Structure formats: structure tokens, C-alpha cells
């Protein structure tokens, strides 16, 4: 499988998030902000909106002609890699339990999307990408419910 430069950059960004979390690298001002309730809610909202936009892109792509679908795919990939930014702002490390799963799902989803071939047989990649997206949506919904139910 041959990857284009953009896919390699996306894969690098996803792996870099995992490495910095595993090595527990943190930036003190961001760490302080992440413990502020207001910052956590706003960064969580930003991350949730990015995830929702990705779902809209994926669904919208299915209803368009081939040329428009390619444009939407480029936007979907760009927003996918940029989703690592609000993830990092919201949580520099995945945490425990459901948070660990969610913190691992987003980079995994980005990595699978980056490694998915643009041409040829993509069924397994799309199936895995869709499964991860479904788990991510369900987990995000549960996380948002837990945040507001216990506040």
C-alpha cells in the first residue's frame, strides 16, 4: 500500500498524540486550563462539534456525485487530522475507563482514515472506520451525559 504525503502526515499526528500521552508530556499552562471547569466544557464542546462535523461529512458524501464527493472527502480528511487539536486541548492524556477508550478511539479513527487506500478495495478499511466512528459517537454521547448528569 502506497501512502500519499497527506496520509503520512495524518498518521504521524495520530501516533504523536499517542506517544506524548504515553510519555506523559504536558505543557503546564494547558494542564492548568484543563482543570478549569469552563475550559473543559468549551473544549469538550469544540471536540464534540468536530466529531459531529465528521459524521455530517460522511453522510453528505454518500448523496453527492463523484466530483463533489472527492471534495467532501478532502474536507473530511482535513477535519479528521485537525480533530487531534481539540482532543489535545481537551485532554493531553486519555485518562481511565471510558476516557481511555475515547482518548484512544479518536487517534485510532484518524489513523485508520489516513491508512485507508484512496483507490481499490476499501471495504475492510471502511468497515473498520465506520465501526470506530460508531463506537466514538456512542462513547461521546455517554461521556457528555455523564458530565452533565453528575455536575
CA distance 149 to 44: 15
| Per-residue pLDDT at 82 exceeds 90 | no
Q: What is the pTM of this model?
A: 0.80
CA distance 70 to 62: 11
CA distance 40 to 118: 36
Residue 63's pLDDT band (cuts 50, 70, 90): confident
Instruction: Point out the least confidently predicted range of 80-84, 105-109, 122-126.
Output: 122-126
Q: Which residues of 22-52 are buried (b: 16+ CB within 10 A; e: fewer)?
A: eeeeeeeeeeeebeeeeebeebbebbbebbe
Tell me the mean pLDDT in the region 61-66: 76
- Residue 143 has what pLDDT? 92
- Residue 141 has what pLDDT? 93
DSSP tag of 23 = T
CA distance 104 to 108: 6
Q: Please report, rounded to a whole number, the percentage of residues in the chain having pLDDT higher than 70.
A: 92
Among the listed residues 73, 77, 70, the one whose alpha carbon sits nearest the alpha carbon of residue 14: 77
pLDDT tens track for 120-132: 566 778 888 889 9
Amino acid at each position: 500500500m502506497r501512502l500519499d504525503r497527506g496520509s503520512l502526515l495524518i498518521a504521524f499526528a495520530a501516533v504523536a498524540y499517542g506517544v506524548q500521552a504515553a510519555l506523559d508530556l504536558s505543557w503546564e499552562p494547558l494542564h492548568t486550563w484543563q482543570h478549569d471547569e469552563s475550559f473543559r466544557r468549551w473544549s469538550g464542546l469544540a471536540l464534540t462539534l468536530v466529531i459531529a462535523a465528521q459524521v455530517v461529512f460522511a453522510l453528505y458524501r454518500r448523496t453527492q456525485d463523484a466530483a463533489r464527493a472527492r471534495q467532501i472527502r478532502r474536507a473530511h480528511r482535513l477535519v479528521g487530522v485537525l480533530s487531534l487539536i481539540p482532543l489535545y486541548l481537551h485532554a493531553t492524556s486519555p485518562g481511565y475507563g471510558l476516557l481511555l477508550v475515547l482518548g484512544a478511539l479518536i487517534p485510532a479513527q484518524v489513523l485508520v482514515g489516513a491508512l485507508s487506500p484512496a483507490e481499490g478495495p476499501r471495504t475492510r478499511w471502511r468497515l473498520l472506520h465506520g465501526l470506530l466512528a460508531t463506537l466514538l459517537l456512542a462513547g461521546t454521547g455517554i461521556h457528555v451525559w455523564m458530565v452533565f448528569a453528575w455536575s
